Structure 1
Amino acid sequence: MSSCEMEKEIAIVGAGISGLLACRHTMEKGFNPVVFEARNGIGGVWSSTIDSTKLQTPKNYYQFSDLAWPLSVTETFPDQSQVMDYIKSRVSELADTMHLPEEPTQKHLAENDDERMTENGEEPGNQQIQETEQNEVYQVDFVILCIGKFSDLPNIPHFPQGDGPEVFSGKVIHSMDYAAMNKIQAVEFIKDKRVTVVGSQKSALDIAAQVSKTNGVRHPCTLLFRRVHWSGSKNLVRLTFRNPNRFSELMIHKPQKGLILWWLVFLLSPLRWIFTKLVECYLKWIYPLKKYNMIPDYTFLKEIYSCMFTILPDRFYERVEDGSLILKRSQKLCFCTTGVIIDDEVAPLETDIVIFATGYKSDEKISNIFALNYFKKCITRSSTPFYRECIHPRIPHLAIIGYSESPATSFTTELRSKWLAHFLAGKFKLPVIKEMEEDAKRWKKCTKKYSGENYKGACVSVMLQIDCNDQLCRDMGCNHKRKKWFLSEIFSPYQPADYANV
């Protein structure tokens, strides 16, 4: 690495697992990044989550590539406290580079509008990180945003005047606020209350299960949702993570592959269909999905392609059976004084607390960091996805790590952190803007084909994880084949440990 590259000033915003990975791997390349974190500590969303939260992926897929989980953690899906202990075990070597304020501060990214990269890839100018409450400015050469997409800016539905929470006599919060409570506060908040949870993804299921466990049949929790999703058992997740390998990826079309690989996809596609139907039959067998009208209107594989598959909380349908958890499907919702009115029902659903587990405005959250409208539009209005799932072609002096979802987020994040560190060290150069945009569009078309109506713009599907990693390895100039012999290379699943020495 040249002395010029060694002198690059790098700022990392966020000290969750993505920020820690970006920090570690840039340090390994000789940089001294400065990490900014608005919270009082590290861990990101793991530092503030509901008590029952556990990993959604087997622990060997959610680990640092060179640091195995301690032997004391015997569970396949560790809980929040175990995950935090594991993250902290890696932090001591990074502590000196972090800026953790005593009080949260708002970060603001300012750039000069005439310093955008040109079409032939000229180097941009510096950027500024401003801590607005402390009025400090840090001028840097490259910024790595690691602020995640499941925090800070909640997505709460908009209601017409007179139909929103303002007319409700009870309490309305977002799942983010509920997760911020400690265990005792959370129990006291919901205890002996009629609680309605709005949503159908992981947070909604976890909160509804926890409320129903606390209040029982005397004050049953109601789960309101528009759409049903496939959710499964821990055993099914274990099976799913054994399946992704190079052989299974031969069943998926990928951009710019030859005719032979195209024919292989065609010949092997029945196996994909058989796997889907077997899983769906299994889920219908172990859960009373038909009885409660909980069969999704799309296939199980579309759930996987869209990074939306989750583990169902323990005893979920047992709580539905005993009446402590009530499932209600609704397309329209509005508030009244005593509760909520569902669809066109005359009688309201009386409730004391409404918890919106309706996700976050992740694009808006990132765009709000930028001072100039040009960069805001690059994030919120551009149809071009990120190159290599971390760099927008029009903002190549800034990377966003941990934004793209995958069934194993830390796995996806770590290899991109290594790739980014190689890029910053001058090991390779980015293509020109047009080439990056065309490549990103090809991958968008590919993933959209399989995800269908569930398509999300930032998702590395479990069925394409290895091929995406191969691209990164080729960019870095290292061997993308990480197994020791042919059969394991084809049929064994890839895990973070396979990339430990990249």
Structure 2
Amino acid sequence: MPGKRVAVIGAGVSGLGAIKICLEEGLEPTCFERSNDIGGLWRYEEKVEAGRPSIYKSVTSNALKEMTAFSDYPFPDHFPNYLHNSKVMEYIRMYVKHFHLKKHIQFLSKVCSVRKHSDFSSTGQWDVVVEVEGKQKSFVFDGVMVCTGLYTNPFLPLQNFPGIKRFKGQYMHSGEYKTPEEFRGKKIIVVGIGNSGIDLAIELSHVVAQVFLSTRQVAWIWNQVWDNGMPMDTVLFTRFNSVVNRFYPTFLINKWAVDKLNLQFNHDIYGLLPQHRYVLGFLKHNFASAFWILIKPNIGEFTETLAIFEDGTEEDLDVVIFATGYTFYFPFLGNDSTVLDSQCSMFKFVFPPQQEKPTLAFIGILQPVGPPFPHQNSRKAMFKFGISFLGLNKLPSMSVMMVDYKDEIASEAGVKPNLFSLFLRDPKLFKEVFFGPCTPYQYRLQGPGKWAGAQGAILTQKKCIIKPLRTRILIRNQPLYSVLFWLKIVCSALLLFVLTLVIIKG
């Protein structure tokens, strides 16, 4: 039913996309942003503020721009393939301006509580209390979309590191880190081998006396640059590869992946070789600076000046940086056990399964295991959310809820591309959709929110990927592989064939 009111909490990437999808579905979104600006995680600030995501100055996206673009608004083609946070913010501001989203955002508005309305069982409505300039205001919304992100509440497991409280050096969470300059000349250990842990270790290795990287678990390291110097995302994350993965034996796929990864980066030499042969998870990173980083096992305990590792070795340290991730943090929901369970399990990574009405959604909070398409997944979830509000869909029973993610939401929302139809009417587009990178534009070819520019964006996406790489144009007098070259190849093959026949007959 058009005109239903939706509260969007947070004006980061997910929140802005949520506003846009609500407008497409005929809903009336009001976005509450506690700070004075858009951007969420990607907006760099010098100071760390409690309850707000924080990034370091050099943060660069580890996902290809074409894979993380809004599905109806491509990045400018001259932007680098992997973007510094300032470039991401530039793109976000362009998106907001283009679609006139700012008028739907209320800044300096802190959401204090979200509770079920008195007649929730029949209406699915929510009571939302917001604090503005020290005063609280109450609203009633037909739905709530939580878009606060995952990086607001640092996880600092000090109880797992005996003696850390008596350590006389500095210890901190990676969320407090901004630049390497304040650590110049010091001996530092980074705890955790996630993307942030490796990022910080590499950056610090250029200015400090020594960097250690402590890891309890091991991991497979994937380079961002794949064969022929192309971004990994464009080569691996295609619909064709998805089909191959379904029918090809898993152990052969894993063997290929392990051999490929060890060819680029020998995990055994660096002490990172997992005991299992299954490639279930990965870190996408350029680990070229590992020569300046010493990999260490898990820390057993701390003394006043030392870290003593589980293998018995010890190191003198000045600083400990815990790159140990974040925990879910939704203070406005209180202790309402009917909203989230202890595992924060969610249907389609979006809806709390306990809800009798699908009017509360978490956008961009949980992500399925595997190659990351966080913003694409969020957008598909928003399609589902909008359709639920319009009464075109109901949640299935609990027994059906925990199913594979992939293209399911897109199929239910009617936005998954019809490959057979594309093959018949536009073979060129089919080829790019099936064999090319699975970019978000594919979900704008048909169905709700169909975008006229989707076809053009898909057909030109490879040019957009190559353009920032081709900063030096080579001028040749003739093609690299001329007609003469191929003529020589054919003649050589014929000569080899004739000689083979002569040898056989002789």
The TM tier, using the shorter chain, reads: 0.7 to 0.9
Residue identity in the other structure for 1:46: W
TM score, norm. by length of structure 2: 0.75
Describe how 1:143-162 pairs up with structure 2 within 5 A.
143-149=144-150, 151-159=151-159
Q: Which has the larger radius of gyration?
A: 2
Question: Residues 81-101 of structure 1, C-alpha deviation per residue, up to 9 Å, x if partnerless?
Answer: 211111111122111221222
Structure 2 equivalent of residue 485 of structure 1: 423
Describe how 1:75-474 pairs up with structure 2 within 5 A.
75-92=80-97, 93-101=100-108, 107-112=111-116, 115=119, 117=121, 122-131=122-131, 134-139=134-139, 140-149=141-150, 151-159=151-159, 163-178=162-177, 181=178, 186-215=179-208, 219-236=209-226, 238-239=231-232, 241-250=234-243, 265=246, 268-270=247-249, 272-299=250-277, 301-303=279-281, 309-313=282-286, 315-317=288-290, 320=291, 324-330=292-298, 332-343=299-310, 345=312, 348-362=314-328, 365-366=329-330, 368-375=331-338, 378-381=340-343, 385-395=345-355, 396-405=358-367, 407-424=372-389, 426=390, 428-431=392-395, 435-441=396-402, 443=403, 465=406, 467-468=407-408, 471-474=409-412
Measured after TM superposition, the shift of residue 496 of structure 1 is 0.9
Question: Residues 27-81 of structure 1, C-alpha deviation per residue, up to 9 Å, x if partnerless?
Answer: 22333312122233222222232233222222111101111111321x2222222
- DSSP 3-state at the match of 2:152: coil
Question: Residues 211-269 of structure 1, C-alpha deviation per residue, up to 9 Å, x if partnerless?
Answer: 00222xxx1111111011111112238345434444444456xxxxxxxxxxxx5xx23
Q: 1:129 to 1:439 in 2, by over 3 A?
A: farther
8 A Cα contact 1:279 1:300, kept in partner: no
Q: 1:427 to 1:125 in 2, by over 3 A?
A: closer
Q: 1:110 to 1:53 in 2, by over 3 A?
A: closer
Residue identity in the other structure for 2:332: I
Question: Which shows bigger deviation, 286-295 or 222-231?
Answer: 286-295
Question: Which shows bigger deviation, 63-72 or 489-498?
Answer: 489-498
Q: 1:436 to 1:312 in 2, by over 3 A?
A: same
Structure 1 equivalent of residue 477 of structure 2: none
- Give the distance between the partners of 1:87 and 1:250, measured in 2 at CA: 33
Q: 1:50 to 1:299 in 2, by over 3 A?
A: farther
Q: 1:229 to 1:195 in 2, by over 3 A?
A: same
8 A Cα contact 2:233 2:437, kept in partner: no
- DSSP 3-state at the match of 2:171: strand
Structure 1 equivalent of residue 23 of structure 2: 27
- Give the distance between the partners of 1:77 and 1:32, measured in 2 at CA: 34
- Give the distance between the partners of 1:428 and 1:287, measured in 2 at CA: 50
8 A Cα contact 1:247 1:490, kept in partner: yes
Residue identity in the other structure for 2:207: T
- DSSP 3-state at the match of 2:338: helix
8 A Cα contact 1:241 1:493, kept in partner: yes
Q: 1:133 to 1:190 in 2, by over 3 A?
A: farther
8 A Cα contact 1:110 1:372, kept in partner: no
Measured after TM superposition, the shift of residue 358 of structure 1 is 0.4
Question: Residues 411-430 of structure 1, C-alpha deviation per residue, up to 9 Å, x if partnerless?
Answer: 11122223322333x15131
8 A Cα contact 1:159 1:334, kept in partner: no
TM score, norm. by length of structure 1: 0.76
8 A Cα contact 1:10 1:143, kept in partner: yes
Measured after TM superposition, the shift of residue 280 of structure 1 is 1.4
8 A Cα contact 1:333 1:341, kept in partner: yes
- Give the distance between the partners of 1:294 and 1:327, measured in 2 at CA: 8
Q: Which runs of 4+ in 1 moved over 6 A?
A: none
Q: 1:164 to 1:9 in 2, by over 3 A?
A: farther
Structure 1 equivalent of residue 10 of structure 2: 14
- Give the distance between the partners of 1:113 and 1:333, measured in 2 at CA: 50
Structure 1: where are the runs of 5+ without partners?
A: 253-264, 304-308, 447-459
Q: 1:298 to 1:148 in 2, by over 3 A?
A: farther
8 A Cα contact 1:127 1:143, kept in partner: no
- Which structure has more relative contact order (CA 8 Å, sep 6+)? It is 1
Residue identity in the other structure for 1:71: D
- DSSP 3-state at the match of 1:91: helix
Question: Residues 368-412 of structure 1, C-alpha deviation per residue, up to 9 Å, x if partnerless?
Answer: 331343236x33246xx3223211132322110001225121111
Structure 2: where are the runs of 5+ without partners?
A: 45-54, 425-429, 451-506
Residue identity in the other structure for 1:269: Y
- Give the distance between the partners of 2:278 and 2:34, measured in 1 at CA: 38
- Give the distance between the partners of 1:131 and 1:375, measured in 2 at CA: 24
